[in-house]
Chain A
Amino acid sequence: MPKGEISIKVSYVGYNSSNIVFDLQRDTSINFTLTSVQLSEVLITGKSESNIKQTNTGLEIIPINTLKAVPSLMGVPDLIKAITFLPGVSPGRDGISEFFVRGGDRGQNLIMLDGAKIYNTNHVGGFVSLFNSDAIKSVDLYKGGFPARFGGRASSVLDIHAKDGNINRKHSKFMLGVMQSSLLFEGPIKNQNTSYLIAARASYLDLLTLPIRIKNNIRSEGSLAGYTFFDINMKINHKLNDRNKVFANFYSGSDFQGSEEKSKNESSEDHLQLHTNILTIGHTLISTSKMFLKTSLIYSDYRNKISSAFSSNYYLDNYFHKSTSTSTIKELSLKSIFEWNPGSNHSIKTGIEISRYSFLPGQVLIQNRDSILASQADTIIGSAGLLRSLENAFFIEDDISIGPSVSLYTGLRVVGYFYKNPLMFNFEPRLSMRVLLSDNLSVKVNYTRMVQYNHSLVSNYQGFEREVWIAATDSIPPQKSNQFSTGLYGEIPAYKIEFSIEGYYKRMYDLINYQSATGVFSDFSHLEKLIAKGGKGWSYGLEFLLQRSVAPVSATLAYTLSWSYRQFNDLNNGLKFPFRYDRRHALSVLTRITLNKQYSLNSNFVLSTGTPFTLPVSYSKDNSFYYGYFNYSGINNMKLPLYHRLDVGIEKTGKTKKGNIKKLSVNIYNIYAHQNPVYVYYNPYNGKTYQKSLFSIIPSISYSIEF
């Protein structure tokens, strides 16, 4: 180097750089001391394969952080309600945890927790979903483009995976809410080869009504309603060696809802109980870095029991009557998937799924004691008996890139179905193609056929819906759907914005419905007489999604334009009618603004066309033979007024003196108190029209602390 003033910059990863200036006259040796860098908290986020590059259409990957941030009714993060903000996913009744995908029925959603099918997705009343967001690791929603490894439902797949439990350190969380509280424990057990997770929730509405309960017992007269639920998720993971892992996941949830009314000589009681138990045992074998074998054994048990009792006690006249209706589902499944990735752009999956079902759609037990008539009877009526079926599926799928811009997905699911009589075979092809138009833009097309062997039927019990499931039989064929979808997917990197436009057309066949209003104590022994069979469905629409998922301002805008219809020979005089949740336009905007390290603001706004409902077109007045009644021109002939709502929430995150993370959330559901109608009715006496809403403004608060 030439003599003179020299400047040297010294830098090293993890250390602050240093500039040294000196006058160079001869060979010189200089010692440096660098100070280490003190980094602030680093947040490492991962992102799954971009929607642009995936081959299939209709897949929505729901980030858990987004799910938890959505302001919700009663401040409880709710997976089911959160996904209704996605395009193509329609919510059901106001405040209820249910969803309808691309004009499909609720029972056409395949909802799985670690591979186990869930038959009932919410707790009594439907206001709280079965899924504890603290115990969820990932959620994928398939609205179309279903991989061949999924089957058995006609409209969607919601694939939920439970958290494995923290393998590195113990972690606990307690959350105290207005209506419910939850707790979570997770951590390693031994040598970091085994981890556990326990998450539980319980509602305590009953505690709030305890004073009334005590008072009632003293007076022995009056009325009382009670409601409580609890659920628990337990998961244990164990690494046998570098190639073998096993896990066991257990879920149990129960609901109790009841009302009692007492007077001096009479009393009546109504009770509803729901129980869900699921056990999944899984094994993963990593044969080589390119081959995997995943096997799981699943047992699930769902029970639904409704009872209604009346008793009277007068002089010499004692009367007691109780009706109990029970519905159960039991399933035992074995699922095995072999995955082989011959190249980075080629993946093959194949496997089997064997499921044994046992359905008891409805069994009614009548208990009667009458001292006057000297009668005593315990009679089972209205039982369809146990419906047992076996569904054996084989599937194979191949996802391959052909050249730099084209990828092709081909899949086939073959199902052999047994119900008493000989095997019934169905072939379900799945095809998708993606063409990359540029690095940031792709176009896709897809065709999917789905066959559903288990049907759901919904009836009503004191305002709460009751869903029963039945197996396809010789005379009730499985329902089927064919769906075509295509879309354009892209991103604008400069603004970190992703967008998609997707269109679909879906035809559904062999749908079933109750022929008419069916109560829970109906006679199920002539099941086929209760059911309208051979229904057809049409749904089509366009979905737009625009999202930015980068702090400090992240937002999602979803808009759906859709149509959905049904037709049954035995309903509506055989004429086509709009599906109950046919919403022509649906817009939702989710935003999350991170104000600073402590505070963040969340909001969601929904605006949609009112859902169809049935209103009379005229009135037949009282006549010489019968009282007056309303006349109807058809099912779902009117639409409810526009639905709109804004929910907001603020979150404060901080640390306790001991360094634990604490979080305070305040949510306001429906902040401008818009009364969204659940239904509209005429008052025949004053000729006026009224609407009834369930929820106005609802504030809620929750506090959680993590250890």
Chain B
Amino acid sequence: MKPLVLIILVISLMTSCELVKQIDFEPDYDGGKIIAHGFISQNYGVQVQISKSVPSNDTHQSSYVPDVHVTLYADNFPVSNLNETDSCFFISPDSIILKEGVAYKIIITTKDYGTAESGEQYILPSIDIDSLIYRKDTINWKGEKLLYSFYDPENNANYYSFYYDAFHDEDLILSSKPDDSFILSYFDDRLFNGQKTWREESFYSTFYKFDTVHIVGRLFNISKEFKTFLESLKEYEYTKEDPFFEYTSPVFSNIKNGYGIFGSYTFSEKKITHIKPK
């Protein structure tokens, strides 16, 4: 066989792979469903953002929902309407006192997109951070750690998330919280159920530039539904652009007749100050 023929064949094979073209494909559309992303916590009460779903192939369409009301229910009884503070962003009035052991849910009523109802959530107890320690690596000059400990209550599975911020004066100089997102990472208590546990976060910082740095650690106690939502978001991100997965993992929702999440969390906070050694 002439080498030229072989080269042409191989080039044909290579160039014929990975073909992408635009097609006319009419997607299904759910017609616009209510989307609620909301949380209930001891720290901030109830916060909910309402929008509507837009067609998959027209994501620039407005998701604004006019004439929407959000009502908070406690043990299936209406407690209060939430106040709209911004466009479709609702918070609970200051007069509402949230209690542990009560099942809370929200019902969203709209003029054009019907009614949606969330799953029930309970106010979670605050789990205090027992210790928070900043430690510079003594062996190598760059590594740093933030060590924290807490006591895990001895009951059913608990789910946690930990974030830290560091400030010099009032300026934020380091944060573990993702940009433009609420909590994303989490861990469970399978390895330390009912015990005191120590955990650590490693990072590289510019603390050495400042005389004083304030470090704030926040330990979130999150509900199982919230954890499932975060887990599904992670799987969604992992599978969404990979055609070889059988299907993209959908994002978990506990909003009946809609999408989104109504989750519960409570966080505790501990602050330490790091002073540059002389």
- The interface of chain A, by Cβ under 8 A from chain B, is 74, 176, 178-179, 208, 316-317, 371-374, 458, 460, 463-465, 516-517, 519, 580, 613-633, 635-638, 641, 673, 675, 677-682, 684-685, 687-701, 703
Closest to A635 in B: B247
Q: Mark B147-165, 1 if CB is under 8 A from A, else 0.
A: 0000000000000000000
Contacting residues, chain A, for B35 (C-beta < 8 A): 620, 623
CB within 8 Å: A-B pair count: 196
* Among candidates A373, A695, A701, residue contacting B143 with C-beta atoms closer than 8 Å: A373
Task: Please state if A690 and B140 are interface contacts (CB–CB under 8 Å).
Answer: no
Task: Please state if A618 and B29 are interface contacts (CB–CB under 8 Å).
Answer: yes
Task: Please state if B235 and A618 are interface contacts (CB–CB under 8 Å).
Answer: no
Task: Please state if A619 and B54 are interface contacts (CB–CB under 8 Å).
Answer: yes
Stretch at the interface among B14-22, B67-75, B122-130, B168-176: B14-22
A463–B25 CA distance with the chains assembled, in angstroms: 25
CB proximity of A321 to chain B, nearest CB, Å = 14
Closest to B39 in A: A625
Contacting residues, chain B, for A519 (C-beta < 8 A): 238
CB proximity of B56 to chain A, nearest CB, Å = 5
B6 at interface by CB-CB < 8 Å = yes
Contact sample, A vs B, 12 pairs, CB 8 Å cutoff:
A178-B13, A208-B10, A373-B202, A460-B242, A580-B246, A623-B37, A623-B51, A627-B180, A629-B251, A632-B248, A695-B16, A699-B12
- Known A-B contacts: A619-B53, A632-B248. Give 20 more (CB < 8 A): A316-B140, A372-B140, A373-B140, A460-B244, A516-B232, A580-B246, A614-B247, A618-B54, A619-B56, A619-B59, A623-B37, A624-B37, A630-B248, A631-B251, A635-B247, A677-B23, A684-B56, A689-B22, A696-B16, A703-B1
A688–B181 CA distance with the chains assembled, in angstroms: 27
Contacting residues, chain A, for B51 (C-beta < 8 A): 620-621, 623
B32 at interface by CB-CB < 8 Å = yes
Interface residues of B, dominant DSSP: loop
A695–B137 CA distance with the chains assembled, in angstroms: 54
Closest to A618 in B: B53
A638–B142 CA distance with the chains assembled, in angstroms: 52
Contacting residues, chain A, for B242 (C-beta < 8 A): 460, 463
Task: Please state if A625 and B182 are interface contacts (CB–CB under 8 Å).
Answer: yes
B134 at interface by CB-CB < 8 Å = no
A680–B13 CA distance with the chains assembled, in angstroms: 22
Closest to B32 in A: A618
Contacting residues, chain B, for A701 (C-beta < 8 A): 1, 5, 9
Q: Given A176-B1, A463-B244, A624-B89, is A615 in contact with B27 using a C-beta cutoff of 8 Å?
A: yes
A178–B7 CA distance with the chains assembled, in angstroms: 9
B63 at interface by CB-CB < 8 Å = yes
B30 at interface by CB-CB < 8 Å = yes
B94 at interface by CB-CB < 8 Å = no
CB proximity of B157 to chain A, nearest CB, Å = 12
Within 8 A of A (CB), among B54-81: 54-60, 63
Task: Please state if B29 and A698 are interface contacts (CB–CB under 8 Å).
Answer: no
Q: Given A372-B137, A629-B236, is A615 in contact with B56 using a C-beta cutoff of 8 Å?
A: yes
Within 8 A of A (CB), among B220-246: 232-233, 235-236, 238-246
A620–B35 CA distance with the chains assembled, in angstroms: 7
Contacting residues, chain A, for B143 (C-beta < 8 A): 372-373
Task: Please state if A460 and B27 are interface contacts (CB–CB under 8 Å).
Answer: no
Task: Please state if A687 and B244 are interface contacts (CB–CB under 8 Å).
Answer: no
Task: Please state if B19 and A692 are interface contacts (CB–CB under 8 Å).
Answer: yes
CB proximity of B235 to chain A, nearest CB, Å = 5
Task: Please state if B19 and A693 are interface contacts (CB–CB under 8 Å).
Answer: yes
B100 at interface by CB-CB < 8 Å = no
Task: Please state if A684 and B37 are interface contacts (CB–CB under 8 Å).
Answer: no
* Among candidates A316, A465, A621, A690, residue contacting B54 with C-beta atoms closer than 8 Å: A621
Contacting residues, chain B, for A637 (C-beta < 8 A): 28
CB proximity of A620 to chain B, nearest CB, Å = 5
Task: Please state if B49 and A633 are interface contacts (CB–CB under 8 Å).
Answer: no
Contacting residues, chain B, for A699 (C-beta < 8 A): 9, 12
Task: Please state if B140 and A371 are interface contacts (CB–CB under 8 Å).
Answer: yes
B139 at interface by CB-CB < 8 Å = yes
Contacting residues, chain B, for A673 (C-beta < 8 A): 16
B249 at interface by CB-CB < 8 Å = yes
A373–B140 CA distance with the chains assembled, in angstroms: 7
Contacting residues, chain A, for B250 (C-beta < 8 A): 631-632
Task: Please state if B19 and A517 are interface contacts (CB–CB under 8 Å).
Answer: no
Contacting residues, chain B, for A374 (C-beta < 8 A): 137, 139-140
Task: Please state if B27 and A682 are interface contacts (CB–CB under 8 Å).
Answer: yes
B217 at interface by CB-CB < 8 Å = no
B33 at interface by CB-CB < 8 Å = yes
Closest to B86 in A: A624
B104 at interface by CB-CB < 8 Å = no
A698–B240 CA distance with the chains assembled, in angstroms: 30
B259 at interface by CB-CB < 8 Å = yes
Q: Given A615-B56, A680-B23, is A625 in contact with B140 using a C-beta cutoff of 8 Å?
A: no
A208–B14 CA distance with the chains assembled, in angstroms: 12
Task: Please state if B56 and A618 are interface contacts (CB–CB under 8 Å).
Answer: yes
Q: Given A613-B247, A619-B54, A641-B25, is A631 in contact with B63 using a C-beta cutoff of 8 Å?
A: no
A673–B16 CA distance with the chains assembled, in angstroms: 9
Task: Please state if B17 and A697 are interface contacts (CB–CB under 8 Å).
Answer: no
Q: Given A580-B246, A692-B19, is A687 in contact with B49 using a C-beta cutoff of 8 Å?
A: no
Contacting residues, chain A, for B54 (C-beta < 8 A): 618-619, 621
Task: Please state if B56 and A616 are interface contacts (CB–CB under 8 Å).
Answer: yes
Task: Please state if B49 and A517 are interface contacts (CB–CB under 8 Å).
Answer: no
Closest to A697 in B: B16
A316–B142 CA distance with the chains assembled, in angstroms: 10
A179–B14 CA distance with the chains assembled, in angstroms: 12
Closest to A464 in B: B244
CB proximity of A179 to chain B, nearest CB, Å = 8
Task: Please state if B245 and A460 are interface contacts (CB–CB under 8 Å).
Answer: yes
Contacting residues, chain B, for A641 (C-beta < 8 A): 23, 25
CB proximity of B263 to chain A, nearest CB, Å = 9
A240–B10 CA distance with the chains assembled, in angstroms: 50
A690–B25 CA distance with the chains assembled, in angstroms: 8
Q: Given A371-B140, A372-B143, A636-B247, is A691 in contact with B21 using a C-beta cutoff of 8 Å?
A: yes
Closest to B50 in A: A623
A371–B137 CA distance with the chains assembled, in angstroms: 11
Contacting residues, chain B, for A620 (C-beta < 8 A): 35, 51, 53, 63, 251, 259-260
Contacting residues, chain A, for B243 (C-beta < 8 A): 678-679, 681, 692
CB proximity of B260 to chain A, nearest CB, Å = 7
Contacting residues, chain A, for B1 (C-beta < 8 A): 176, 701, 703
Task: Please state if B251 and A517 are interface contacts (CB–CB under 8 Å).
Answer: no
Q: Given A620-B53, A621-B54, A689-B57, is A633 in contact with B19 using a C-beta cutoff of 8 Å?
A: no
Q: Given A371-B140, A465-B244, A632-B250, is A619 in contact with B9 using a C-beta cutoff of 8 Å?
A: no
* Among candidates B23, B25, B181, B245, residue contacting A625 with C-beta atoms closer than 8 Å: B181
Task: Please state if A675 and B182 are interface contacts (CB–CB under 8 Å).
Answer: no
Task: Please state if A687 and B9 are interface contacts (CB–CB under 8 Å).
Answer: no
